[in-house]
Homo-oligomer: A and B are copies of this chain.
Amino acid sequence: MLSSTPRTRHRRIKENGRTDPADLFAVLAAGQVAHLGVIVDGHPMVVPTVYGYDRERIFLHGSVASRSLLTGPAEVCVTVTVLDGLVLARSVFEHGVNYRSAMIYGVPEPVTGPDDLRYGLRLLSEHLAPGQWDYARGPSGKELAATRLLAVPLTEASVKISDGHPEDGDGPDAALGLWAGRLPVVATWGTPVADPLLPAGIEPPAHITARVGTPVSGGE
C-alpha cells in the first residue's frame, strides 16, 4: 500500500516455504518495531510492539492482543516495515518510497511456563540489544509470571521489497530536465546516554559501544 515502483517484489510464503523464507527473515532482522493488528470489539486496532523471532515463530509482548483473545483464538496480522528512502521522480505521480515489509498472519499462542518465557524473552531482548541478555540481570520467577508473551507462527507471511529508481526516466517526463533519484534514510545507533542515576566510573559495555554508528536496519 506504500506507493512503490513496479520493481516491487511481492513474495508470499505459505505453509513453510513455498518461496524463499530468507526474504522474511531479512525483513525481521532489519526491523525493530512490529505493528500488531487485532480486532477489539469488532474494530481493528494496530499496536506497535517490540518483537523477537526464531525460525518458526515471532514473539510479541502481548497485553493488548491478550485482551482481544479473551473471546477465543483469533487471527492477527503482524507487520514489520523498514523505510529505506524516498523515490523522487520527475512527476508527482511516480513518487514513492523504497521499503522492506513483512506481513505475518496467524493465530497467536500465549507463551507460558518459565522456560518458554525465558526462551521467548531472550529472543526479544537479543534482537533489539544483542549482548544485553547475558549482561543484565535475568528475569526472576515473579517477573516471568508478570510477563505476557505471544507467539505467532511464521507459516503464512507476505514480503514486499521496493528498492527501485524512479520510473519516469525513459518516458516523456525525462524531457523536463528535472533531477530525479532517491533520498536514502540513514539510521544508525547513536552515542549511549548514561542513566542520570548511574554512579561515575561505570562505562557502557563493549557490546553497546560497538554498535555506535552502525546501521539500525541495514539501510539502502
Contacts and interface: CB of A to CB of B under 8 A. Distances in A.
Contact of A1 (B63, B133, B165): B63
Contacts of A76: 44
A75 interface: yes
A1 B47 contact: yes
- Determine the main DSSP class of A at the interface with B: mixed
A95 B36 contact: no
A216 interface: yes
Interface in A74-128: 75-79, 81, 83, 85-86, 88-93, 95, 97, 99, 101, 103, 105, 121, 125, 128
B132 A95 contact: yes
5 closest A-B pairs by beta carbon, nearest first, are A169-B197, A37-B44, A184-B190, A37-B46, A35-B35
A72 interface: no
A2 B49 contact: yes
Contact-residue bracket for chain A: 35 or more
Contacts of A83: 32-33
A178 B135 contact: yes
A86 B183 contact: no
Contact of A61 (B1, B90, B128, B180): B1
Given A47-B103, A183-B193, A187-B188, 6 more contacts: A39-B39, A43-B105, A182-B195, A183-B190, A184-B191, A186-B190
A70 interface: no
A79 B132 contact: no
A170 interface: yes
Contacts of A78: 46
Contacts of A91: 136-139, 143
Given A1-B64, A177-B202, A186 B184 contact: no
A169 B195 contact: yes
Contact of A208 (B36, B88, B95, B204): B88
Contacts of A137: 90-92, 173, 176, 178
